[in-house]
Structure 1
Amino acid sequence: MSLQKISRIPASSLLSTVHDIRWLLRSVTPLAVPNRALVQSEYRRPGQPREDKPPWQKIKFDLSKGLEGVKKHFKLLRQEFADRLVGPEGKPIIEHMLEQNRVIWEFRGPESLQNWTVSSDREIGGQSEIYLKLGRNNDTCFLYGTLCSAPPRDGETRYSGYCTMRSKQPLVSFDRKTHHDWSSFNTLHMRIRGDGRPWMVNIAAETYFSHQKDDIYSYFLYTRGGPYWQDVKIPFSKFFLTHRGRIQDDQHPLWLDKINTIGFTLGDKADGPFQLEIDFIGVCKDYAHTEDFAYEVYKRNPEV
């Protein structure tokens, strides 16, 4: 029994056929599979355009500034090693163990304001304004501005009207992240003077997963108003977990050994001017407060 003759395809025709198939797949693939950038895009604030600029185009190369930065960071590295030899956070071990109060931020000059940043809904097209400067005697922080809850006319943003002040992420040599260790304390202590508006105190701790980067622990700060100062003490057990402004059902205590930043947010929907003056922000150890966590913690799959 004879086999049928198999027609041979020329090599040039085979290559052209493969090229046509590849071109067809490239034209069809975007319709079936979404773009990688759209799938893994970061969170974008409403009212802000998408930023398509690659990260390497944001870097500014300057040789002189680079050499100055190397000298600066090697000095910081030397100081970091010297502090490690002395004790925790550059203090003797006995002083660290017996410490009852610690001032974290105090405002005694223009350089103290460089550790803070302010923002408002003007970044997304709103009309609120916030400014930061030193007080009358250059020994306090004076936060003032105007709050406006009118949303921007972009067809996307529904709510607006906030002003916030936040500390910067602490860094060590070569821009490595470090954290505030408040595990020896249980209370936040501040000396403030406000105008009667309620504020929100926000504490951001280090997280392990990328989807938790917007997790913040918050609590309320009520100012009395008037010319008198008030000492405010808020136990860390009172802070509750929020994610992008929404209170979470699953609550956890605050990790006091990995504190990144602290901030103050105003958004009470009362349009008009505001002001808040801060003398210092610190932590203390209150032996009368024995509460671990003020909110109910649900157990998943509890033991029967």
Structure 2
Amino acid sequence: MSLQKMTRLRPVRLLSSIHQQPLLLPSTTALSVPRRSVIQGEYRRPGQPRENKLPWQKINFDFSKGLQGIKKHFALLKKEFFDRWVGPQGKPILEHMLEQNRVIWEFRGPECLEQWTLSSDREIGGQSEIYLKLGKNTNTCFLYGTLSSVPPRDGETRYSGYCTMRSKQPLAAFDRKEHYDWTSFNTLHLRVRGDGRPWMINLAAETYFSHQKDDIYSYFLYTRGGPYWQDVKIPFSKFFLTHRGRIQDDQHPVWLDKVNTIGFTLGDKADGPFQLEIDFIGVCKDYAHTEEFAYEVYKRNPEV
């Protein structure tokens, strides 16, 4: 056979060989993906029982409770509407401008204790205990308990021993978020009576991004101990930024127009009983304090 004939037949043979092969790939079985990789649930600590309830099974469908909630929210909406005609936070504008002291939290009855939440390392398997009640004269709050730095035996937790009291997020009508506006003040004012232990005061402000939800501004509260009350004044310029207990390099002052909560944390690693009595928590305007921020901040280039 000549070379010319072979070159003519070669493409035909190649095409015929292609047509003899199957064009479609054989069907493959679906890969079995574990459910945890598709739907990531909440973290469960070792030894904690699994909760098999569905999300709608946790809701309490109570008709009477719903009516009470509607009355409550419409009353808050009415108060919010009429306060705007009076002035900021229901006060005349002149009184708001000349205000130098404001009491934010005071304890004058059992209903005042409902504005606070308690937590300790018992939630992660620790042994610390914390309680809150009214003082003997029902005009103060009495925070007490026992601190234990023994870590839980779960094979994961290495450190333990903390107790915390934190205020609840203020809510407007229909559970809309509210914020404390302290831009007219520059100092935190407290009247406390402790047992000599050092506490940490934590201020939580509203953030723009979700990864900043654990950012907290902190400073120290040193109690003297003994039977005498002490008036503590801490400038807001002294509070430093922390994230999950770690001091951040990029520091900036507290956003006083969007303060959400205030908290008190004890974690001095001194096992034993503790107590802290609080009369009131407020803010004030100290004209002798002119410092804007006590810590070094990053210098922007170019400066804004």
TM interval, short-chain normalised:
0.7 to 0.9
What per-residue deviation string (whole Å, max 9, x for no partner) do you get for residues 114-173 of structure 1?
000111101111010000000010000100000000101111000000001000000011
- C-alpha separation between the residues in 2 aligned to 1:44 and 1:127? 19
List gaps (5 residues or longer) in structure 2.
1-8
The question of 1:147 aligning with 2:147 is answered: yes
**Would the alpha carbon gap of residues 115 and 256 (structure 1) be closer, same or farther in structure 2, given more than 3 Å must change?**
same
Query: Which residue pairs with 1:280 in the alignment?
Result: 280
Q: Please, what TM-score do these two structures have when normalized by structure 1? A: 0.87
Query: Which residue pairs with 2:83 in the alignment?
Result: 83
Partner SS for 1:133: strand
Aligned ranges for residues 64-103 of structure 1 at < 5 Å?
64-103=64-103
Aligned ranges for residues 23-62 of structure 1 at < 5 Å?
23-24=29-30, 26-27=31-32, 30=33, 35-38=37-40, 55-62=55-62
Q: Please, what TM-score do these two structures have when normalized by structure 2? A: 0.87
List gaps (5 residues or longer) in structure 1.
none
- C-alpha separation between the residues in 2 aligned to 1:149 and 1:114? 28
**Would the alpha carbon gap of residues 241 and 140 (structure 1) be closer, same or farther in structure 2, given more than 3 Å must change?**
same
The question of 1:258 aligning with 2:236 is answered: no
Amino acid at match of 2:180: H
- C-alpha separation between the residues in 2 aligned to 1:54 and 1:259? 34
Shift of 1:66: 1.4
When the two chains are superposed, the root-mean-square deviation of aligned CA atoms in Å is: 2.6
Aligned ranges for residues 187-266 of structure 1 at < 5 Å?
187-266=187-266
| C-alpha contact 1:188 1:283 (8 A) present in aligned 2 | yes
Amino acid at match of 2:112: S
Query: Which residue pairs with 2:6 in the alignment?
Result: none
The question of 1:131 aligning with 2:168 is answered: no
What per-residue deviation string (whole Å, max 9, x for no partner) do you get for residues 18-77 of structure 1?
7x43x33x33xx38x982444xx6677787677676544432222221122112111111
Shift of 1:272: 0.5
What per-residue deviation string (whole Å, max 9, x for no partner) do you get for residues 258-293 of structure 1?
000000000000000000000000000000000000
- C-alpha separation between the residues in 1 aligned to 2:85 and 2:73? 19
